Amino acid sequence: MIISGKELSSKLKTDMRDEVSTFTEKYGRVPHLVVILVGDDPASVSYVTGKAKASEFVGIRNTTIRKPETISEDELLELIRRLNADDSVDGILVQLPLPEHISEAKVIETIDKSKDVDGFHPLNVAALWQKQPCTLPCTPKGIIKMLKAAGVEIKGKRAVVIGRSNIVGLPVAKLLLDENATVTIAHSRTADLPAVTREADILVVAIGKPRFVTADMVSEGAAVIDVGVNRDPETGKLCGDVDFADIEPKASVITPVPGGVGPMTISCLMENTIECFLRKTASR
């Protein structure tokens, strides 16, 4: 079974749109997401456009602030501080990656934790690992939703996550652990990776290498989640980290690229923006 992130995301966004349509009457306004884009990298422009479109669909106010590649780190941090202080702003997202002269860590730390819709702030990360209330990072949150929507039992299963980035691999592993899977995290130094991945009932791949995972690395009936977004070196088309055509007949469920994890990440961003808005409203 192919898990369509596009379809699931569309359903979630429709439900959110219904919820948000009641907000003006209940709270006097709708949630407001500010997205900052530095430079004009085509992939980043396309991600930011996708976020603006999803906001428009859901009924969330979206402001996209574009800054030139030459903006200094101080100027960018000052802009974030102004948005932190702006009571009309509920969520702040700075599109990554940033130019080399700007520290991503400083940018992430400067965003107020209560407006950190990406869930990247160190206090949100710490809260996640301590099982405290927090904003869950969008991609890992979307992955768990997809597995559940597809009816995949996570409890008691062996999950293998390839990749240990702060943005995907580590938080996905933590969320799977919280769902009571037994989790192995594999990485570039893992010895005999195929032997490890063949043990997986649930295999999450977040590497960033086109069609890296081949059919011999996957056990019959595994649930396979492909997070990778790559350009196929031959066709130039988007493809995942998983050899979809070869693995699909073996997997019990599998996500496509495009149309899998990507759309779920955006709908979880919408959900996080609404959560930040409601937390602020409730704390008044």
Which residues bind to ligand NAP, rule: CB under 6 A?
A: 139, 162-165, 167-169, 186-190, 193, 206-209, 227-230, 261-262, 265
Taking the least distance from each CB to ligand NAP, the nearer of 151 and 194 is: 194
Active-site residue (options: 90, 115, 116, 118): 118
Taking the least distance from each CB to ligand NAP, the nearer of 89 and 172 is: 172
- What is the Rg, in whole angstroms, of the alpha carbon atoms belonging to the chain? 19
Active site residue 51: yes
Taking the least distance from each CB to ligand NAP, the nearer of 144 and 206 is: 206
Active site residue 95: yes
CB of 5 to ligand NAP, least distance (A): 8
Active site residue 53: no
Q: Are the beta carbons of 273 and 60 closer than 8 angstroms?
A: yes
CA distance 140 to 173: 8
CB of 118 to ligand NAP, least distance (A): 10
Taking the least distance from each CB to ligand NAP, the nearer of 53 and 279 is: 53
Taking the least distance from each CB to ligand NAP, the nearer of 89 and 175 is: 175
DSSP 217: G
Backbone angles phi, psi at 203, to 5 degrees: -120, 120
CB of 284 to ligand NAP, least distance (A): 33
Beta bridge partners of 202: 159, 223
Taking the least distance from each CB to ligand NAP, the nearer of 83 and 202 is: 202
Polymer length of the chain: 284
| Nearest CA-CA partner of 257 in 96, 139, 138, 173 | 139
Written in H, E and C, the secondary structure of 100-124 is CCCCHHHHHHHCCHHHECCCCCHHH
Active-site residue (options: 95, 145, 174, 243): 95
Chain mean position to CA 163: 14
CB of 16 to ligand NAP, least distance (A): 18
Widest distance between CA atoms in the chain: 58
Q: Are the beta carbons of 18 and 272 closer than 8 angstroms?
A: no
Q: What's the token pair of residue 178? A: 């919280």
The total of other beta-carbon atoms located within 10 Å of residue 150's CB is: 18
CB of 36 to ligand NAP, least distance (A): 18
**Could you tell me the sign of the dihedral formed by the alpha carbons of 83, 84, 86, 90, in that order?**
positive
Active-site residue (options: 13, 51, 145, 157): 51
CB of 33 to ligand NAP, least distance (A): 17
* Catalytic residue annotation: 51, 95, 118
